[in-house]
Amino acid sequence: MHDQPVPLIALVDVTRRFPGVLALDGVSLELAAGEVHALVGENGAGKSTLINIVCGLLAPDSGKLLLSGKPVAWSSPVDARHDGIAAVHQEAELFATLSVAENMAWEQGLPVAAGGWIRWSQVFAAAEQAVNLLGDPIDVRQHAARLSVAQRHMTQIAAAVQQRARVLVLDEPTSALTAGETAWLFRQIRRLQSAGVGILYVSHRQEEIFELADRITVLRDGRMVWSGPAKTIDRDGLIAQMVGRGGTTSARTAPLRQPQHGLLRLQIDRLSAADGRFTDISLGVRAGEIVGIYGLIGSGRSELAQTIFGLRTAAGGSVRIDGRPVAIASPAQAVAADLAYLPEDRLHQGIFRGLSVRANMVVSALGRMQRGWLTSSARERQATAAELSKLGIKCRDAEQPIGELSGGNQQKVVLGRWLLTRPAVLILDEPTRGVDVGAKAEIHRILRTLANEGTAIVLVSSDLPEVMENSDRVVVFRAGRVAGTFDPAHSTAEQVAAASLPDEALRSGAPVGSPRRTRAVRPWRSEVALAAAVCALIGLLIGTTDSFLTADNLWGLLATTALWTILSLGAAVIILAGAIDISLGSLLALSAGVGGLVLKLPYSPWLTIPAGIAAALATGAAGGFFNAAVSLWGRVHPIVVTLGAMTIYRGLLIALTGGAAITGLPGPFVRWSTGRYWGVNASALLGAVAAIGVYLWLAHFRGGRCVVAYGASPTAARLVGISHARAWLSAFAVGGVLAALAGVLELSQTGSLQSTTGRGYELQAIAAAVIGGVSISGGRGSVGGVCLGALLISLIHNTLVLWQVSANYETLVAGAMLLIAVLADLAWRRFER
């Protein structure tokens, strides 16, 4: 084997250390062209670290990474991709609010012309081509949020396939796929293999490994413990290598079954989900019984569990526990009814990473450990200690943060949490997902013990061997209905699997997605509603006042709109990046103040005007830059930074001006904004130029697109090499410049600057942006919408003036607007979901 040609990629003696842990310890690995190399190991063995090094997310501390024999040092996934490494990560991270095509394009590095201009036609053409590979009609222009989990994985894989990579890294690619989709994936892998692509394949699923792999490498505790051709090892041998001790395989054989079952503890009768994920489910579980629920992802099995537990709403049917009918509307009620649910996603739904093992363990059973109204640490410690020893949890002590434990031990703590509530019915959703083999066997043993003690257990899993070996009865879900019930002792895994598959999938092997929604996207909806509101207000103004349609009023309205447009765009750019800046009003005033002081210098206006404007814009940029830099470097949420910066900028302004107003600005500067050019008000022209500039930057230049993409998903952004620092620094700097521009405009329009100028402007600008359809959580919004939002704000100010409403109502109206905008944003997000 060592005489083979130069391997595509080789790791030589690679070591990577994290504080307190040696993640990889002198690991060497080679991947040849046309080879499928499976990487296996328990959780925490170093697989993720290794593939992160291979795809450029991490750099090794020592050792070499050779690409076709030449050493490489990548600083980001982008470098690796450039050298032909494509990766599909386990959790498909997507930019939910960006189109499918753009998502695929970011994976491969956005095609840009000189100056960062994005070639959109190329983006869409490439995406169409990749999707054609799938044989599943996916509209590449729709938001990625509308794809099902399987579709997300499939598009990522298709993009990677199409990329003509030399090395493809697949990290648990089948965890969300159906059998049909898995078959498609395997065909693609074989095709790539014959084309000479090297494939690094990480999976927990033994069957897949033995079906696909040419070579297997086993990692344990950061070291390579075995490596060789797949033919030379069998399943038991592989497990022994992974676990590093003999005898664990016996735990996977059939457990002790308790034939005599007691009373009916859980009884579900014709239960349906409100959202149609499952219909008409009836199921009974007796004391001492373990009922396995098997089905594909999206077949409704997790949804059923979560409905019983009060996390989702039921549409009809009833649930009885120990014969009592229970109406469960919340998890708290479920726990009160002696029900427990171990969630499928440990990291996000299970553990409190920063809290201690004890706090994690007792959180659901605090009521049992109180002393009167107060909590009792002694009782909590006692209960925790009992569970720790009963479940064999390895940790330093009960006060150790749970985040420091291995996956298996974390899962056992979550299991212990539910055992402390002494449930009559225990529902476990994928209890051994991402758990190493040793812990898996122990969890299975614990389940059987619990059942023998009289608990009714529901085991939801997509791991077929697990369901077959541990259940007394297997219920198969298919498309939200019960497709059959099997006795695992008298049926085969093939029968059960066949029942879970939709008929067409069996015949054609075509990809089968989970139920998908086909509702059309209407991206213009919010703008249309807003435009209607603007028109209605204008109509009202024309009807109730004589002075609205006068030229003076309209030009004035246009000038105000320009000001608000510029400032709101500044707020919007920062919100798009997933941040917020409440110092914009102060920054506007400070920039205008700096500009005003320069303008008043005793030189020719032809010198001071450009210098003053430049100084103002530079101040704005610097202020924005400062906000972003402190927030990034200090890892402090922008709201805190900009809350402090708000007083700092205001304070600097007062320190600069001594608290006095700035007046007596040069005539040409003041006259400029009210003058007309080509028949149009100069303020309006400036506003239009700013809006077009921001639009072009956000939609057609890589720099602006990075800002939007980062706001859409910071995690996905990191994977495709978008720098957090650059996204925020540019967004805040552009926001600051726009605030400064608005300040200059205000200075020119009013001819003076008070120390209170701009106070509260940031709230109205944020309101205009959010009303204009910018999602407060980042990543979605349009320049046109923001302009409409700014127009609405200006119209409201105009209304107050024309109706001669007292200034005391101005804040109220602005506040009400912001509140309505926020509520509308919420309604919009609910609608999208």
Partner 1 sequence: MTLSTTFARGRPYLVPALLLALAVGLVASQTTRPLALLDMWRPWGEVGTLAVVMTAIMLTGGIDLSVGSMIALASVTLGVVWQAGWSMPWAAAAAIGVGAAAGAINGTLVTIGIAPLVATLATLAFYAGLAMALAQGQRVAGLPADFASLGQGSWLGVPNQLLIFALVWFMGWIVVHHTRFGRYVFALGDNALAAQFAAVPVRAVQWWLYTASGTLAALVAVIYCARSGAVVPNAGAGIELQVIACVVLGGTRVTGGRGGLGRTLLGVAILSLLDIGLQFISGEIRVPWTGFAWQFSANSRLLLIGLLVIGVAVWNERAAAARLRPTAAGGQIR
How far apart CA 574 and CA 727 sit, in angstroms, is 10
Residue 350 touching partner 1 (CB under 8 A): yes
Give the range of 52-60, 193-201, 288-296, 545-553 binding partner 1 by CB under 8 A: 52-60
How far apart CA 441 and CA 671 sit, in angstroms, is 81
Residue 811 touching partner 1 (CB under 8 A): yes
Residue 678 touching partner 1 (CB under 8 A): no
* CA-wise closest residue to 792 among 569, 551, 537: 537
Q: 3-state class of 517 per DSSP?
A: coil
Residue 628 touching partner 1 (CB under 8 A): no
Residue 651 touching partner 1 (CB under 8 A): yes
Q: Is 447 exposed, middle or buried (0-12, 13-18, 19+ CB in 10 A)?
A: buried
End-to-end alpha carbon distance in the chain: 53
Q: Which of 318-322's residues contact partners 24+ apart within 8 Å by CB, and which partners?
A: 318/268, 318/269, 318/270, 318/271, 319/266, 319/267, 319/268, 319/269, 319/271, 320/264, 320/266, 320/267, 320/268, 320/269, 321/265, 321/266, 321/267, 321/424, 321/425, 322/263, 322/265, 322/424
Contacts to partner 1 from residues 425-464, by CB under 8 A: 434
Contacts to partner 1 from residues 91-110, by CB under 8 A: 91
**Which residues touch 65 (CB under 8 Å, ≥6 apart)?**
9, 10, 11, 12, 14, 53, 54, 71, 72, 73, 74
From candidates 106, 184, 341, 761, binder to partner 1 by CB under 8 A? 341
From candidates 11, 49, 81, 662, binder to partner 1 by CB under 8 A? 49
Residue 803 touching partner 1 (CB under 8 A): no
Residue 536 touching partner 1 (CB under 8 A): no
DSSP-assigned states of every residue in 207-248: HHHHHH-SEEEEEETTEEEEEEEGGG--HHHHHHHHHSSTTG
Residue 364 touching partner 1 (CB under 8 A): yes
How far apart CA 532 and CA 181 sit, in angstroms, is 46
Residue 384 touching partner 1 (CB under 8 A): no
Q: In this complex, which beta carbon is closest to partner 1, that of residue 315 or of residue 639?
A: 639
From candidates 52, 99, 206, 455, binder to partner 1 by CB under 8 A? 52
Taken as a whole, the chain contains a residue count of 833
Q: In this complex, which beta carbon is closest to partner 1, that of residue 306 or of residue 683?
A: 306
In the complex, minimum distance from the CB of residue 402 to partner 1, in angstroms, rounded to a whole number: 10
From candidates 15, 28, 68, 90, binder to partner 1 by CB under 8 A? 90
Within 10 angstroms of residue 817's Cβ, the number of other Cβ atoms is 20
Q: In this complex, which beta carbon is closest to partner 1, that of residue 117 or of residue 809?
A: 809
Residue 204 touching partner 1 (CB under 8 A): no
From candidates 392, 523, 610, 634, binder to partner 1 by CB under 8 A? 634
From candidates 7, 54, 76, 89, binder to partner 1 by CB under 8 A? 89
Give the range of 1-9, 274-282, 344-352, 461-469 binding partner 1 by CB under 8 A: 344-352
* CA-wise closest residue to 474 among 492, 488, 489: 488
3-state secondary structure 438-469: HHHHHHHHHHHHHHHCCCEEEEEECCHHHHHH
Residue 781 touching partner 1 (CB under 8 A): no
Whether the Cβ atoms of residue 75 and residue 91 lie closer than 8 Å to each other:
no
Residue 822 touching partner 1 (CB under 8 A): yes
Residue 114 touching partner 1 (CB under 8 A): no
Q: Which two tokens stand for residue 92?
A: 């498909």
From candidates 646, 684, 708, 793, binder to partner 1 by CB under 8 A? 646
How far apart CA 633 and CA 577 sit, in angstroms, is 17
Give the range of 137-145, 205-213, 640-648, 693-701 binding partner 1 by CB under 8 A: 640-648
CA 683 to mean position of chain CA atoms? 40
Contacts to partner 1 from residues 657-676, by CB under 8 A: 658-659
Q: Which two tokens stand for residue 622?
A: 């610097």
How far apart CA 49 and CA 40 sit, in angstroms, is 13
Site string for partner 1, 388-427 (x = CB under 8 A): ---------------xxxxx---------x----------
Residue 635 touching partner 1 (CB under 8 A): yes
User: Where do we find the tokens 């007062």?
Assistant: 654
Contacts to partner 1 from residues 738-777, by CB under 8 A: 760, 763, 766-767, 776-777
Q: In this complex, which beta carbon is closest to partner 1, that of residue 391 or of residue 682?
A: 391
The site that binds partner 1 (CB under 8 A) totals a number of residues, namely 106
In the complex, minimum distance from the CB of residue 375 to partner 1, in angstroms, rounded to a whole number: 6
Q: 3-state class of 372 per DSSP?
A: coil
Residue 46 touching partner 1 (CB under 8 A): yes
Residue 539 touching partner 1 (CB under 8 A): no
How far apart CA 10 and CA 639 sit, in angstroms, is 46
Residue 819 touching partner 1 (CB under 8 A): yes
Residue 48 touching partner 1 (CB under 8 A): yes
Residue 348 touching partner 1 (CB under 8 A): yes
Q: In this complex, which beta carbon is closest to partner 1, that of residue 19 or of residue 137?
A: 19
Residue 778 touching partner 1 (CB under 8 A): no
In the complex, minimum distance from the CB of residue 647 to partner 1, in angstroms, rounded to a whole number: 4
Q: 3-state class of 145 per DSSP?
A: helix
How far apart CA 828 and CA 171 sit, in angstroms, is 35
Residue 26 touching partner 1 (CB under 8 A): no
Q: In this complex, which beta carbon is closest to partner 1, that of residue 54 or of residue 192?
A: 54
Within 10 angstroms of residue 371's Cβ, the number of other Cβ atoms is 10
From candidates 292, 343, 593, 624, binder to partner 1 by CB under 8 A? 343
